[in-house]
Amino acid sequence: MSKRSEQGLSLGSNMLWNSVGSFFYFACQYLPTILVVRMAADLNASGAFNYAMNTTNVFLTIAVYGMRAYQVSDLEGRYSDREYISSRMFTCLLALAACAAYGGALRLPGQTLTALLLYMLFRVGEALVDVYSGIDQRADRMDVIGKSFLLRGALSCLGFALGMKLTGSLLLSMGLMAAASLGVALAYDRPWAARLGNTTGRAAAARVRALLAECAPLMAYSFLNTAVATIPRQFLQLQHGNAATAIFGSITAPTVVLQLGATYVFTPLISLFTRRWLARDRRGFSVLFARVLLAIAGIGAAGFAGVKLLGRWGLALLYSTSENGQQILANEGLLTPMVAATVLTALVLFLNMLLTIVRDFKGLVISNLIGIAACLAVSPPLVGRWAMWGASWTLIAALTVQAAALLAFGLVRARRQFAGPGPDAV
């Protein structure tokens, strides 16, 4: 009997561990954005931190290569665990080099460039954990994944807080974060992956190249989707500096909770959507689609109501009444458009998921290219003239165009799929 079948947990236990761990990890990632505002002398440190955090999202897509779902679903063992790990080592080095080249090409200030590279090292830790977690998930041991989230979240957040408290140095604090992420990946996740999978031996270079070539379209889509949200922040940083980037990032970060809530609604439905699609169950698929849209709309409505009733109070609670906090509170109105942008982001993620289910990879790539084109077209005038407000309007415009393109491709594919007899046909 295989190790996987001997040690696997139930679906409910796996979902619980993963949900608790990932939510805790998100909270621990968000906490440093509050601490740097409260503990730094000015907003330059916060701006550098927010810039690094958001910019490395793009390079993280290179590191993880969009490979997790492919790896977990490779139940026949087309590629070995060792080949997945070797490919991840290569993509991590590639992402780190690309990030350094990007920062050098932009001639970023010393603190900003160093912060960018340190946060990229933190991201490399995440990417390594991702490939080890793929092995854990195939073994139905997502408790290991949940505990990794808890460990990395607690240790990285603690390291950052201690660094800021004892030294006031942003760069030292980010270095401690990166060390915690890499340390847990190597000391906890790697041994567990070796225990649950088969990570011994060496991977042939030809096999690793084949795996990377096969997953290249997934990486391209993931990269493009992340870039849409990053481009307005890049223009904001370049045209208006660290302070504007810090304020924008600090105000928009709490709205990500809405996006998380939406993903918890539709991610567990992947299998159900797939079954109804393959069964040509048009009514069942449509009803499920409508229910998810209603759930996303309801989450958005709750977000708008929360901003109206508690927005300023919440920002004051998070960022205190310090000078830095006062600058953030002066721009509390940004919460409203950013709730809209976050809801649109959740909608785009949902539609991306559906196009992945129906295997319309061409539609995925084209739709995300359309979103990037829209973002690049409106970012210079809007961000240049209206700064943070322009960045939020840019996101809303680009995500709306992207969602419309995804929906159009999905409708075309759905008409073809449901043109034949449904499940009740005789």
Q: Residue ranges of the domains in the chain?
A: 1-203, 217-418
Find the largest Cα–Cα distance for the chain.
Answer: 74
More confident of the two residues 95 and 359: 95
Nearest to 135 by CA among 187, 184, 81, 181: 81
Give the pLDDT mean for 169-185: 96
| Euclidean distance between CA atoms 196 and 137, whole angstroms | 10
Does position 5 have pLDDT exceeding 50, yes or no? no
The whole-number pLDDT of residue 249 equals 82
The whole-number pLDDT of residue 138 equals 81
The whole-number pLDDT of residue 420 equals 67
| Euclidean distance between CA atoms 345 and 348, whole angstroms | 5
Question: Please, which pLDDT band fits residue 11 given cuts at 50, 70 and 90?
Answer: low
The percent of the chain in helix, strand and coil, each rounded to the nearest 5, is: 85, 0, 15
- pTM score, two decimals? 0.74
| Euclidean distance between CA atoms 87 and 159, whole angstroms | 30
| Euclidean distance between CA atoms 138 and 192, whole angstroms | 13
Q: Are 423 and 280 in contact (CB under 8 A)?
A: yes
Count CA within 13 A, CB hemisphere, residue 141. 22
Nearest to 180 by CA among 197, 200, 160: 160
Does position 100 have pLDDT exceeding 50, yes or no? yes
Question: Please, which pLDDT band fits residue 387 given cuts at 50, 70 and 90?
Answer: very high
| Euclidean distance between CA atoms 291 and 286, whole angstroms | 9
The whole-number pLDDT of residue 268 equals 60
More confident of the two residues 57 and 379: 379
Distance of CA 421 to the CA centre of its chain: 39
Does position 99 have pLDDT exceeding 90, yes or no? yes
Name, in order, each residue with C-beta under 8 angstroms of 182's C-beta and a sequence gap of 6 or more: 121, 122, 124, 125, 128
Does position 200 have pLDDT exceeding 80, yes or no? yes
Tokens at residue 405, please?
Answer: 């393109």
Does position 2 have pLDDT exceeding 60, yes or no? no
Average pLDDT, the chain: 87
Classify residue 362 as exposed, middle or buried by CB count within 10 Å of its CB (0-12, 13-18, 19+). exposed
Residue whose pair of structure tokens reads 């004051």 in the numeric block: 316
More confident of the two residues 230 and 336: 336
Classify residue 426 as exposed, middle or buried by CB count within 10 Å of its CB (0-12, 13-18, 19+). exposed
Does position 246 have pLDDT exceeding 50, yes or no? yes
More confident of the two residues 140 and 295: 295
| Euclidean distance between CA atoms 399 and 218, whole angstroms | 20
Does position 324 have pLDDT exceeding 80, yes or no? no
The whole-number pLDDT of residue 67 equals 83
Does position 163 have pLDDT exceeding 80, yes or no? yes
Tokens at residue 102, please?
Answer: 């990007």
Question: Please, which pLDDT band fits residue 376 given cuts at 50, 70 and 90?
Answer: very high
Which 8-state DSSP code applies to residue 204? Answer: -
Q: What are phi and psi of 76, to 5 degrees?
A: -85, -5
Question: Please, which pLDDT band fits residue 159 given cuts at 50, 70 and 90?
Answer: very high
The whole-number pLDDT of residue 241 equals 84
Least confident of 265-269, 307-311, 328-332, 346-350: 265-269
Least confident of 61-70, 231-240, 255-264, 403-412: 255-264
Q: Are 37 and 46 in contact (CB under 8 A)?
A: yes
Most confident of 7-16, 48-57, 158-167: 158-167
Count CA within 13 A, CB hemisphere, residue 254. 24
Does position 157 have pLDDT exceeding 50, yes or no? yes
Distance of CA 278 to the CA centre of its chain: 29
180-199 confidence digits (pLDDT tens): 999 999 999 999 999 999 99
Q: Estimate the crossing angle of helix 81-105 against helix 205-252, to 10 degrees.
A: 50
51-72 confidence digits (pLDDT tens): 898 889 889 999 999 788 778 7
| Euclidean distance between CA atoms 325 and 329, whole angstroms | 6
The whole-number pLDDT of residue 274 equals 75
| Euclidean distance between CA atoms 98 and 101, whole angstroms | 5
66 residue type, one letter: G
Tokens at residue 165, please?
Answer: 């408290």
Does position 126 have pLDDT exceeding 80, yes or no? yes
